[in-house]
Amino acid sequence: MTAQTLRVGVVGVGLMGADHAERLAGRTANATLVAVSDPDQARAGELAERFGVRAVGDPLDLIADPEVDAVVLASPGFVHEPQLLACIEHGKPVLCEKPMTMDAESSIRVLEAERTGGRPLIQVGFMRRFDPEYAQLKEIVDSGRLGRPLLLHNVHRNKAVPDTFLSEMIVRDSLVHEVDVARFVFGEEITEITVLSPAATSVAPAGTIDPQVAIFRMASGALVTSEVFVRNQIGYEVRCEVTCERGTVVAGRPSVQVYTTSAGGDGGGGLWGGVIPEDFRDRFSRAYDLEVQAWVDASLRGEVVGPTSWDGYAATAVCTAGIESLATGRPVPVELVDPAFGA
């Protein structure tokens, strides 16, 4: 690593990883993409050829490579723990997509390894913190001009997901974003989670609970409601509304974008409509750009900005309790280790 350029390797080049590779290769300052790795070696090879970089068969070899200064982990969550531990072992800054790991216990092991290593290296990919709308919402709440925040309402809808994306994954891989949003907005921990099971959409595989509604209780007593619906067949909708003592603030409301009007098809009243993004890359492209740039700049300074390994652990712990609540239908308390553990 020079003082000016961060040489980055990307592990996992599916939808998210390929998007990050393109971002690093073409529109991130002070960074250069040098290597990619994926179990689908043909896919990794095609991407490597496209960007003129190396394809490395084993992700642990990429992490250990002395010509790789830092790593983006866009691999599945179930392989994050060994890959994160390897990054820590080799002293490589890492931007890890959510979830940090699959459960609270494995996240604690990562926290412990990072602490033993002597310096923070992990930034977790909760990109909404970098989204201009969410950042402005947070600024308004923190200013106090609307009074104390009392309630938060989240909506998280996807057009479609693979049939392998089952009920527990909706909690662990989708709701985890709402968990981080709640912690980010209130600046405190979630103490209890309840995951409710409405009637499932007819397009969900048998036995899959989709949509889901989660209720978080914050340390201050504030409540958060979150709808997650990953097969809504329309598009990608994500928004957040905070109810404060003297007003509300909303991020992601479609009407703030361009919308159209037209005559009703049956001769009745007029209609209005806008464009709903197809997927997360459209809605949060700017957030991802800002997130990756902030990570690169901080890595060159030897720092971590944005969500830390503690944030990754806390979100995973809430989702671990959420999966238990999904199975029982009852509220489940969230128990965290001492925050000083991850300091």
Residue 247 lies inside a defined structural domain of this protein: yes
Q: Are 251 and 298 part of one and the same domain?
A: no
Structurally, how many domains does the chain consist of?
Answer: 2
- Separation CA 102–CA 329 (nearest Å): 21
pLDDT at site 81: 98
Q: Are 179 and 219 part of one and the same domain?
A: yes
pLDDT at site 283: 82
pLDDT at site 258: 52
Q: Are 152 and 85 part of one and the same domain?
A: no
Residue 1 lies inside a defined structural domain of this protein: no
- Separation CA 184–CA 159 (nearest Å): 26
DSSP 182: H
pLDDT at site 20: 97
pLDDT at site 253: 78
pLDDT at site 155: 96
CATH of the domain at 298: 3.40.50.720
pLDDT at site 235: 87
Q: How many degrees, rounded to 5, is the angle at CA 318 between CA 316 and CA 319?
A: 65
pTM of the model: 0.91
Residue type, 272: W
Q: Are 205 and 258 part of one and the same domain?
A: yes
pLDDT at site 340: 72
- Separation CA 96–CA 313 (nearest Å): 12
Residue type, 178: E
pLDDT at site 279: 77
Residue 182 lies inside a defined structural domain of this protein: yes
- Separation CA 6–CA 301 (nearest Å): 10
For 74, the token pair is 């866009």
Q: Are 199 and 111 part of one and the same domain?
A: no
Residue 326 lies inside a defined structural domain of this protein: yes
- Separation CA 9–CA 90 (nearest Å): 14
pLDDT at site 178: 98
- Separation CA 216–CA 220 (nearest Å): 11
Q: Helices 41-51 and 15-26, interaxial angle, to 10°?
A: 20
pLDDT at site 276: 72
Residues 6 or more apart in contact with residue 274 via CB below 8 angstroms = 254, 255, 257, 258, 259, 260
pLDDT tens for the chain, 343 residues long, are 455 899 999 999 999 999 999 999 999 999 999 999 999 999 999 999 999 999 999 999 999 999 999 999 999 999 999 999 999 999 999 999 999 999 999 999 999 999 999 999 999 999 999 999 999 999 999 999 999 999 999 999 999 999 999 999 999 999 999 999 999 999 999 999 999 999 999 999 999 999 999 999 999 999 999 999 999 998 889 999 999 999 999 998 765 455 555 555 555 566 656 667 777 778 889 999 999 999 999 999 999 999 999 999 999 999 999 999 999 999 999 999 987 764 5
Q: Are 255 and 302 part of one and the same domain?
A: no
User: What is the span of the domain harbouring residue 332?
Assistant: 128-279+316-342
Residue 48 has φ and ψ, to the nearest 5°, of -60, -40
Residue 311 lies inside a defined structural domain of this protein: no
Please name every residue paired with 6 in a beta bridge, in sequence order, or none if there are none. 31
pLDDT at site 339: 75
Q: Are 63 and 189 part of one and the same domain?
A: no
